[in-house]
């Protein structure tokens, strides 16, 4: 009888475990003919779904169901079908749905066509993983420049971020720290005398263009789109409210600055006002709506046409790598070196974020030397008024001991 009782007691845990399996609270696990295990569950939408993969052990399948149940209870669950959308279709729709500047839209479509879609165009959103992004970025860095890859990565990250907001995917797979910010070297700061050389080297009709680009911190598009009514030489200010964009196909689009912060009023140094007056009298279009800067035949200013002139100037002043946009860099650096605050720089530059303005807060070498001299004077003054202590005092001996 004792043997029979022991046998019964041994069987009891097995029956108990069997009842627990039979009464599983969430999902089901079954063994497949391959020997692997499949997990299934009933989603909040009433659809019975299998796990996306099978498992080597029943324990692994059970663990997956536990995590899936917790996901549903937290409210993080989303239908897998939501992410089964072709990236190429979703990305095209992403661009179409946004109000973009013509030049920005052209840039995005070019990045998508040439750098992103060839790799991810036929992927479903849900199938794009972090490892795929890392491999894609490394491959691109071996083909094109870092700046282009950074722009493409930032666009991809924005598209996938919207997919998260749209509940197409759970989280953004673009998680490479710093990948959207190119590590571009700091532009060389040329002496102000070189700027004057450039102003003398360009044809007379472009002298004011150089001076205003440098000392009013205007972008090329803002200069090309500037009209007479927005240049107040009597008041010494320029109001930036428009910008001329030149698309890759050559089309010119008269629009607005890059951002709302780009709409600004900038003070002009009095010293360049005479040059601006001469320019308005001799070269600008007539009438208050006339463009301040136009080509030799009166057409709107094109960067592509001016590029040939600029190359000759680069050679003449021995600055082969110097870009027209670098004039703005010179002006911003000078403003910072002469005490402009971060907020003042942001306003003058037309930036809504501090990132670009902070570049110019490093100060110039000359400014740093001025600061060092001021600190030295403060030290000298403090030293001169400090009471003298006899060298033989206990404190003096203690200091010498150390």
Give how far Cα 311 sits from Cα of 132, 151, 303, Å: 41, 27, 12
H or E element in which residue 303 lies = helix 303-316
Residue 360 falls in the annotated catalytic set: yes
Q: Return the DSSP state at 329.
A: H
β partners of residue 266: 238
Contacts of 279-286 with CB under 8 Å at 24 or more apart are 279/205, 279/207, 279/208, 280/228, 280/231, 280/233, 282/204, 282/205, 283/204, 283/205, 283/208, 284/228, 285/228
Handedness of CA 16, 19, 25, 29 (dihedral sign): positive
Print burial letters for 177-209: b (CB count within 10 Å at least 16), e (below 16): eebbeeeeeebebbeeeebebbbebbeebbbbb
d(CA 211, CA 144): 34
Of the residues 279, 291, 328, 329, which is catalytic? Answer: 328
d(CA 230, CA 280): 12
Q: Return the DSSP state at 252.
A: E
Of the residues 325, 355, 362, 373, which is catalytic? Answer: 325
Of the residues 219, 264, 291, 348, which is catalytic? Answer: 219
Residue 228 falls in the annotated catalytic set: no
Residue 227 falls in the annotated catalytic set: no
Q: Return the DSSP state at 388.
A: P
Do residues 25 and 42 lie in contact, with contact meaning Cβ atoms separated by under 8 Å?
Answer: no
Residue 328 falls in the annotated catalytic set: yes
d(CA 99, CA 85): 23
DSSP 60-123: HHHHHHHHHHHHHHHT----GGGG-SBHHHHHHHHHHTS---HHHHHHHHHHIIIIIHHHHTTS
H or E element in which residue 144 lies = none
Residue 351 falls in the annotated catalytic set: yes
Of the residues 207, 227, 264, 351, which is catalytic? Answer: 351
Give the rounded distance of the alpha carbon of 56 from its chain centre: 44
Give phi and psi for 23, each to the nearest 5: -100, 30
d(CA 246, CA 243): 10
Give phi and psi for 371, each to the nearest 5: -65, -45
Question: Catalytic residue numbers?
Answer: 219, 325, 328, 351, 360
């Amino acid at each position: 009888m004792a043997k029979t009782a022991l046998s019964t007691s041994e069987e009891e845990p097995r029956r108990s475990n069997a009842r627990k399996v039979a009464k599983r609270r969430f999902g089901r696990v079954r063994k497949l003919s391959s020997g692997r295990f499949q997990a299934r569950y009933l989603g909040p939408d009433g659809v019975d779904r299998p796990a996306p993969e099978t498992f080597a052990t029943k324990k692994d399948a059970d663990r997956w169901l536990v995590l899936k149940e917790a996901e549903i209870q937290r409210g993080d669950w989303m239908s897998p079908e939501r992410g089964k959308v072709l990236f190429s279709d979703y990305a095209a729709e992403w661009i179409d749905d946004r109000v973009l500047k013509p030049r920005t839209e052209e840039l995005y479509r070019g990045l998508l066509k040439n750098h992103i879609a060839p790799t991810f165009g036929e992927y479903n959103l849900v199938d794009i993983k972090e490892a795929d992004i890392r491999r894609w970025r490394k491959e691109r860095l071996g083909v094109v420049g870092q700046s282009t890859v950074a722009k493409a990565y930032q666009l991809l990250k924005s598209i996938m971020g919207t997919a998260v907001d749209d509940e197409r995917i759970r989280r953004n797979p673009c998680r490479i720290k710093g990948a959207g910010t190119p590590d571009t070297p700091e532009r060389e700061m040329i002496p102000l005398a070189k700027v004057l050389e450039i102003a003398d080297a360009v044809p007379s009709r472009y002298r004011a263009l150089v001076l205003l680009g440098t000392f009013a911190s205007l972008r090329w598009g803002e200069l090309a789109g500037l009209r007479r009514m927005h240049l107040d030489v009597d008041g010494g200010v320029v109001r930036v409210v428009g910008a001329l964009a030149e698309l890759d196909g050559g089309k010119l689009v008269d629009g607005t600055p890059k951002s709302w912060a780009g709409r600004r009023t900038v003070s002009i140094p009095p010293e360049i006002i005479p040059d601006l007056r001469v320019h308005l009298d001799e070269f600008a279009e007539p009438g208050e709506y006339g463009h301040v800067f136009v080509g030799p035949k009166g057409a709107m200013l094109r960067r592509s046409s001016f590029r040939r002139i600029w190359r000759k100037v680069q050679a003449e002043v021995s600055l082969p790598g110097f870009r027209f946009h670098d004039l703005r860099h010179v002006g911003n650096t000078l403003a910072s070196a002469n005490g402009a605050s971060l907020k003042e720089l942001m306003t003058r530059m037309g930036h809504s974020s501090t990132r670009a303005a902070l570049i110019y807060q490093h100060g110039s070498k000359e400014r740093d030397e001025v600061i060092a001299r001021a600190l030295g004077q403060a030290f000298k003054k403090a030293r001169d008024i400090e009471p003298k202590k006899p060298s033989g005092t206990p404190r003096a001996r203690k200091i010498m001991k150390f």
